[in-house]
Amino acid sequence: MTPFGLTEPGSSLLHRTPAGWKLLALLVLAAVVFVVRSPVWLGGITVVVLLGYALARIPARRCLHTARTLAVLVVFVFALQSWLLGIEAAAVICLRIVAALAAANLFTLTTKVDDVVSAVERGLRPLRRFGIKPDRIGLLVGLTLQAVAAISGIAGEVREAAKARGAQRSPTAFAVPFLVRTLRHADELGEALAARGIGDRGR
């Protein structure tokens, strides 16, 4: 099981909310988070996002995976930004990261990729007259969400393999297999798209 991505089955209110509305709410939240500068307000937004996990009845194991992943990132960013900008600025940046990434993860946990793709296609359909192709943009969104889940899964598997060999502290033991498997995944994805005629300008 990976930290980010992979829908968690459920029948909660968040699971039943249409993907389009959830995507719009996520975009609005992301915009608000990066405009607000008050640690208090950002802390409040973060608490609301975390309460969303309880509302969606996300299992504790999934929440712990997310918390561990965010903790590593936040500790690194806080240490660096505290040194460069000061503690208050570092706290603001970290709260923004936690709120935005936790909300994005909650969105992927409660929304199927197919529903997101369909919502994007429906929302962009009126823009066909301007030469925009909603089906291509929907496909791009779907591939992006799946890529996040796939890369997270690869990272987890490589980390576990390195740990089993007793090499969990070796950057090379993680970086090399991770890079090789990620490139292999990209090649397989490219071949699959080419087999379906996607991206073939000649057609």
| 8 & 85 share domain | yes
The answer on 128 and 101 residing in a single domain is no
Interatomic CA distance for residues 128 and 134, integer angstroms: 7
Both 137 and 89 in one domain: the answer is no
Round to whole Å and give the CA distance between 166 and 176.
Answer: 16
Joined together, the tokens standing for residue 85 give: 């900008």
Q: For the chain, 203 residues long, give each residue's pLDDT as a single digit of tens.
A: 344 446 778 788 888 888 888 888 888 998 998 888 888 999 999 999 999 998 888 888 777 877 877 787 788 888 888 888 888 888 888 888 888 888 888 888 888 877 777 777 777 776 677 777 777 776 666 666 666 666 666 777 777 887 787 776 677 777 777 788 888 877 776 776 666 665 555 44
Distances, alpha carbon 94 to alpha carbons 39, 44, 74, 107, in Å = 10, 13, 6, 20
**144 and 176 belong to one structural domain:** yes
**Residue at a domain's end among 94, 111, 128:** 111
104 and 122 housed in the same domain: no
Asked whether residue 64 falls in the same domain as residue 146, the answer is no
Instruction: Clarify whether residues 124 and 102 are in a common domain.
Output: no
Report whether 71 contacts 33 (CB < 8 A).
no
Q: How far is CA 192 from CA 124, 143, 185, in A?
A: 25, 12, 11
Same-domain check for residues 82 and 2:
yes
Question: What is the sign, positive or negative, of the torsion defined by CA atoms of 74, 75, 76, 78?
Answer: positive
Q: How many domains does the chain fold into?
A: 2
Structure tokens at 3: 């930290």
- CA dist 34 and 162 (Å) reads 37
pLDDT recorded at residue 44 = 92
On whether both 90 and 155 belong to a single domain, the answer is: no
58 and 13 fall within a common domain: yes
Q: Which of 106, 97, 45 is nearest to 72 (CA)?
A: 97
Q: Could you give the CA distance from residue 51 to residue 64 in angstroms, rounded to a whole number?
A: 14
